[in-house]
Each structure stands twice: as C-alpha cells, then as structure tokens.
Chains A and B, each alone.
Chain A
Amino acid sequence: MEKRVVFKGKLLPYLLVAPQIAVTLIFFIWPAAQALKQSVFIEGAFGGNAQFVWLDNFIELFSDPGYLHSARVTVVFSAAVTFFGLAIALLLAVMADRVIRGATVYKTLLIWPYAVAPAVAGVLWGFLFNPTVGNLAYILNKLGYDWNYFVNGGQALVLVIIAACWSQISYNFIFFLAGLQSIPRSLIEAAAIDGAGPGRRFWTIVFPLLSPTTFFLLVVNVVHAFFQTFGIIHAVTQGGPANATEILVFKVYNDGFRGLDLGGSAAQSVVLMIIVIALTVLQFRFIERRVHY
C-alpha cells in the first residue's frame, strides 16, 4: 500500500525539496556542465585564451596510445577488484552465516575495514609491501620472490588491487550476509532432503537466490573500482611505475592538474561520466526485472 501525502499549496513542497535540489545543482550538475563545456575547448596552461575546438579533444584522446593503455589497465584493475572483492566476500559471508558462537564479534570485525578511508588503506598496504621496510615484502623476499613494486609494474598493479579489494570486501560482505540470511532455512533443508550436498545446495539454490544481490554488488564494485580508488592509487603508486597502475580516473587528475591539459582531462571526465551513466541505467533496468523472482 502506497502512502501519499497531498499538499494543499505549491510553495511548501518546493521549499522542502529545495535544499536537495540546490546541493545537486551546485555540486553535481554545475561541475558536470563545466566539464562538458571544457571538453570542447583547448586552454592555455596558465588559463585564459580558451579556444573552441569541437570534438578535437576526444579524437586526440582515442588516438593516444597512453589513453588506450590506461583504459586497458582500468579494465584489468576493475575486473580483478570486482571479481576478488565479490568472491572473497561471498566466501566469508557463507562462513559467517554458519558461525553460531561469537557470530557478532566475527561479523563486526569483518565490517571494520570499510571504515578505513581508501587513502589510508592504500598507505597501509603500501607500507606492508614496502620493499625496504614492509613485513610482507620481507617474507616474500625470504621466500625467494623478488618483490619490489617500485620498479615492477605487475607487482604494483597487484598491490593496488589488493588494497582496493580489501575495504570493498567488507561492504560486499554485509550485503551478501543479509542476502544469505533472507533465504528461508527450510529451502536449504528441503534441498538437503532432496539429496543435495552442501556444494550443490550452494550452486543450485543459494547462489541463484543471491543473484539480485550479486548483480547489484557487481555494478557498485565496478563503479568503485573505476572511480573511488583514486585515493589508493595516489597514495601507493602515483600511477607508476611507468604508468602500470594509471587507471582512467587517475589519468584525469594527472593530465589535468599535473599536465595542465584541461581540455583533454575534461574530455576524459566526460567519457567516465558516460560509463557511469551506462552502468546506472543497466543496474536499474536489470534490478527492476530481477528483484522479484
């Protein structure tokens, strides 16, 4: 049953939504419009003498091997962050769902990493894996593995993936656990009587019933990997070594604020904006269809 409040006048409802609208306009719409505008201009490095160049910024972008490299890094990075973030969280949630003694403590501890800011998480992992002082790096080197993410691009990418996954696992864990707990116990019991072992029960009953949750998290995690990992990259690798960890959002910052190519950077922002809009549309379309099974 839907509850509807009917206002008599027009003034009050507009007043009530005004703060939200104002915030959206000032902090979202206006900057986005600025980015759109800037993406079709070339501007001098010290500001002023802006020149309207149509879509030249975009054309240049897609013919730039550096940008395409960054796009590939981003795909690898976000696929890895999303996959491992979801898989590990699901594993932990399934185990937490079976824990009886000390369940609250266990769950609380698993949720904590989400409270750590991405940049701090980055510093933390960067420190653990620091080739000179890091504990984990020391162990890796002892094991005969030549670990130095300052010079090895692959290792640097693995490190930022770990750091980005780590905090995201907590977030995914909460949703998976809630999803698991909303599956009626009797369904699992019915499957057990039907002869399905634990593995089979999981893949044929639990996992399909979790699919709306999984899909929601998939989109959220991709968005996270694309956009919210800036802090981690900035704190740990600065996009290096040799641009091996330069994901798109970091390149926006690098090109715009360090390279001072404001037009090119704005064009990159617009591309990211289109990606996130597409993801959002996909999510709403899909979830609306799948939410009631």
Chain B
Amino acid sequence: MAGVSIRSVKKSYGEIEVIHGIDCEIADGEFIVILGPSGCGKSTLLRMIAGLEEITAGEIAIDGRVVNDLEPKDRDIAMVFQNYALYPHMTVYDNMAYGLRIRGMSKAEIDMRVKKAAAILELDGLLARKPRQLSGGQRQRVAMGRALVREPSVFLFDEPLSNLDAKLRVQMRIEIRRLHQTLKTTSIYVTHDQVEAMTLADRLIVMNAGRAEQIGSPMEVYARPATTFVAGFIGSPAMNMLPGRLGDDGTVEVAGVRLPVAAPVAGTAGRPVTVGMRPEHIARADQGTRTFDLHVDVVETLGADTLVHGRIGGAGNELIVRLPGSVTTGPGDVVPLAVAPQNLHLFDAETGARL
C-alpha cells in the first residue's frame, strides 16, 4: 500500500498542452475519483500515473518513489480498463494468472491467489471459460480479478463501468466500494459519471480542460463548489445559474428580485455576479415568505420528486426546481418560491470563481 503524489504534472502532445499542471497528495488507502467531461484530460492523468503516457513536466511519486522514468510493470500498480482488455485467447484463470506467472510466482501461490480473487468476485464457476463466453458484468469482474491477484499498492480504474447497463453499473459500483473497504488499497478511479464519483470517492478531483477545478470530499464539492464549472457539473439536475448584481446592503439582485446573502461578499455594489441555486434547495413558499414567483413551463413527475421548469422575471431567466412529489402544478401556473440565504452560491461573473 502506498500514497501517490502528483506534483505540478503537465502533459503536452507536441505543441499542444493538454494538462496544465496538477497537484494532489493522495493518502495511503484513499479512494480518489477523477471526475470530468470527456476530453478534460482525466484519462491522460491516470495513464501518466500508470506509466502508459510520458510525463511532460512535473513529478509523480508512488510510495515516496518518483516513478517518472519507471516502466508500468515496475510501478507496483494494477489497472482496470474501460474495455476490460481481457486476453481473448486465454481462459479466465489464465487471464488472472498471466501477470503472476511473468513475475515467476510458484504454481501453488498463483493458484491460491487466483482462487481467492475468484471467490471474492464470485467467479468460481467461470475459471475455465474464455472471455467471449462471459457476460459484460462477468468480464468486468475478471478485469477486476486480474488487478486483485497482483495485490498492488495502487489500483487504477479507467471508466470501468461505462460499458455496463444501468442496473449492473449500480451493482458493480457498490461492489467496488465494498472491495475497497475490505482491502483498503489506494485507488484512483476515472469517470465522467457524477453519481459514481460522489458515491465512491473519499475525495474528488474535478477536472476541466486540463485543470483541476476543485479537489475535495464529495460533500465539500457539492456544498461549496469552487467554480461555476464544478457547480454545474455536480448535482442533478444541474445548479441554476442566473446573472445578477451585488446590492449595497448584503443582498444580491437576480431577475429583479432582491435576495439576502448569508455571508457578505467583498466588492462594490453593482458588481456583476453569477448566482447559483440548486434545484433541491429551492422550496415552495407561502405568500408571506415568498421571495420570487416561478411561471411554470414544463412539469416532470418522477414520483418521489417533481421537477418544475419555468421562468422567473425576464424571459431569459430559466429555472429548474425540485419539489416534493406531493406538489401538484401544471404549465401556466405561478408558484411562489423561497431560497435560504445560505443556499445561494455567488461566483465572479467573469472568472467563474467562487466569491
């Protein structure tokens, strides 16, 4: 087991820099999820840790040892690939034993480890099969098994669940979490799925366009997003972002409505800001407590919740609100709403940074 240090790591392909310097200290036994949209450089970062991509600048250290110039096999890591990368001409057993045989382990030891991993992953009856005779979920397990038997100090996962159907994905997600709770091996997991990220991670690295926008626990990232990008990326439906202006008395003006802010922000009155409100933090209000009205366009009934899409103030200010399923409303209605001051997120209108 080991920690991983990422120090100002950069990656360029020729002239084009795709990762602009990332710093992160990953503690021993931590489960880190790198989250971001496709093309943000998250897989590239993982592949640099694995040794499959060269590190253009900066340093990566595993267990205190700088690994920049080490071959993947010397880094004491194991990786689970998105397409599983199982050896199609080998049985499940041989797939798992391949790495151990290369390391010259004894037959008995190999057999013991493979059987043990197979038992954990419920692959017992499948050891003699070829990958093509397995279902997607089983292949996924074999890919995990191949990483498990190596007993590496770091597990790397490159979007391992994205080829599975929705139900299996949920199931495997829980299994990966359970596995990590038992083994406590440092894990780095790349995904574009925010639910996976939130449920698995001890800490998240939210990436966008080659930069780490925010590094923090899932709750921190949800409660105090560092930028508008993070705010919009985490949470479903996405956070409402409306243009607004700072008022002079600790308020902010959005769509013609004045809202009180919990913590006063520096800056002169009239400074343009972006105001974020999560759909689940906006509540239906009585006439007395209401702060603004929503003109309803579309209603999506989900059972437990009802998503209400509508406009406030001018035509451009669209808003989504998550209300309890018991609320009945329809297009054309006007719903009075309120939002607590501590649930308002203020961002700089230009840089998108949290204020």
Which residues in A have some Cβ–Cβ distance to B below 8 Å?
Answer: 184, 186-187, 189-197, 200, 204-205, 208-209, 292-293
Q: Report B58 CB to chain A, min CB distance, Å.
A: 21
Q: Are B81 and A195 in contact (CB under 8 A)?
A: no
Could you say which residues of chain A place their CB within 8 Å of the CB of B98?
191, 194, 196, 204
Q: Are A190 and B102 in contact (CB under 8 A)?
A: no
Q: Report B92 CB to chain A, min CB distance, Å.
A: 14
- Interface size counted on chain B using CB atoms at 8 A: 24
Q: Report B2 CB to chain A, min CB distance, Å.
A: 16
Given contacts A184-B85, A190-B79, A209-B88, is CB(A195)–CB(B132) below 8 Å?
no
Could you say which residues of chain B place their CB within 8 Å of the CB of A197?
73
Partner of A189 from B52, B89, B130 at Cβ < 8 Å: B52
Q: Are A293 and B52 in contact (CB under 8 A)?
A: no
Report the bound CA distance from A205 to B146 in whole Å: 15
Q: What does DSSP make chain B's interface, helix, strand, loop or mixed?
A: loop
Report the bound CA distance from A190 to B143 in whole Å: 10
Given contacts A186-B83, A186-B85, is CB(A195)–CB(B52) below 8 Å?
no
Q: Report B127 CB to chain A, min CB distance, Å.
A: 18
* Closest 7 A/B residue pairs (Cβ): A194-B99, A195-B73, A186-B85, A190-B85, A195-B102, A193-B72, A208-B89
Interface status of B103 (Cβ within 8 A of chain A): yes
Q: Are A293 and B73 in contact (CB under 8 A)?
A: no
Partner of A192 from B52, B88, B146 at Cβ < 8 Å: B52
Sample (9) of A-B pairs whose CB atoms are under 8 Å apart:
A186-B81, A189-B52, A189-B81, A190-B79, A192-B52, A192-B72, A193-B73, A196-B73, A200-B102
Report the bound CA distance from A194 to B73 in whole Å: 6
Which residues in B have some Cβ–Cβ distance to A below 8 Å?
Answer: 50-52, 71-73, 77-79, 81-83, 85, 87-89, 98-99, 102-103, 130, 132, 146, 150
Q: Across the two chains, which residue of chain B brings its CB closest to A211? A: B89
Report the bound CA distance from A292 to B77 in whole Å: 31
- Known contacts A193-B99, A194-B99, A293-B88; 16 additional CB pairs below 8 A are A189-B85, A190-B79, A190-B146, A191-B87, A192-B51, A192-B71, A192-B72, A192-B73, A193-B51, A193-B73, A195-B73, A195-B99, A196-B102, A208-B89, A293-B89, A293-B130
Report the bound CA distance from A293 to B88 in whole Å: 6
Could you say which residues of chain A place their CB within 8 Å of the CB of B82?
186
Q: Report A288 CB to chain B, min CB distance, Å.
A: 16
Report the bound CA distance from A191 to B102 in whole Å: 10
Report the bound CA distance from A168 to B98 in whole Å: 35
Could you say which residues of chain B place their CB within 8 Å of the CB of A200?
102
Q: Report B87 CB to chain A, min CB distance, Å.
A: 6
Q: Are B71 and A209 in contact (CB under 8 A)?
A: no
Partner of A209 from B77, B89, B103, B150 at Cβ < 8 Å: B89
Could you say which residues of chain B place their CB within 8 Å of the CB of A194?
73, 98-99, 102, 146, 150
Q: Are A193 and B78 in contact (CB under 8 A)?
A: yes
Q: Report B153 CB to chain A, min CB distance, Å.
A: 13
Q: Report A98 CB to chain B, min CB distance, Å.
A: 15
Could you say which residues of chain B place their CB within 8 Å of the CB of A192?
51-52, 71-73
Q: Report A201 CB to chain B, min CB distance, Å.
A: 10
Given contacts A192-B52, A194-B73, A194-B98, is CB(A184)–CB(B79) below 8 Å?
no
Q: Are B79 and A193 in contact (CB under 8 A)?
A: yes
Q: Across the two chains, which residue of chain B brings its CB closest to A187? A: B85
Could you say which residues of chain B place their CB within 8 Å of the CB of A196?
73, 98, 102
Q: Are A193 and B102 in contact (CB under 8 A)?
A: no
Report the bound CA distance from A153 to B323 in whole Å: 94
Could you say which residues of chain A place their CB within 8 Å of the CB of B78?
193
Q: Across the two chains, which residue of chain A brings its CB closest to B147? A: A193
Could you say which residues of chain A place their CB within 8 Å of the CB of B51?
192-193
Could you say which residues of chain A place their CB within 8 Å of the CB of B89?
208-209, 293
Report the bound CA distance from A193 to B77 in whole Å: 7
Could you say which residues of chain B place their CB within 8 Å of the CB of A193?
50-52, 72-73, 77-79, 99
Q: Report B255 CB to chain A, min CB distance, Å.
A: 49
Report the bound CA distance from A197 to B87 in whole Å: 16
Q: Across the two chains, which residue of chain B brings its CB closest to A189? A: B52
Q: Report A207 CB to chain B, min CB distance, Å.
A: 10
Report the bound CA distance from A209 to B89 in whole Å: 7
Given contacts A192-B72, A194-B73, A200-B102, is CB(A292)–CB(B81) below 8 Å?
no
Q: Report A119 CB to chain B, min CB distance, Å.
A: 41
Could you say which residues of chain A place their CB within 8 Å of the CB of B103?
195
Could you say which residues of chain A place their CB within 8 Å of the CB of B50?
189, 193
Q: Report A100 CB to chain B, min CB distance, Å.
A: 11
Q: Report B155 CB to chain A, min CB distance, Å.
A: 11
Q: Across the two chains, which residue of chain A brings its CB closest to B80? A: A190
Report the bound CA distance from A193 to B85 in whole Å: 12
Q: Report B324 CB to chain A, min CB distance, Å.
A: 46
Report the bound CA distance from A186 to B160 in whole Å: 13
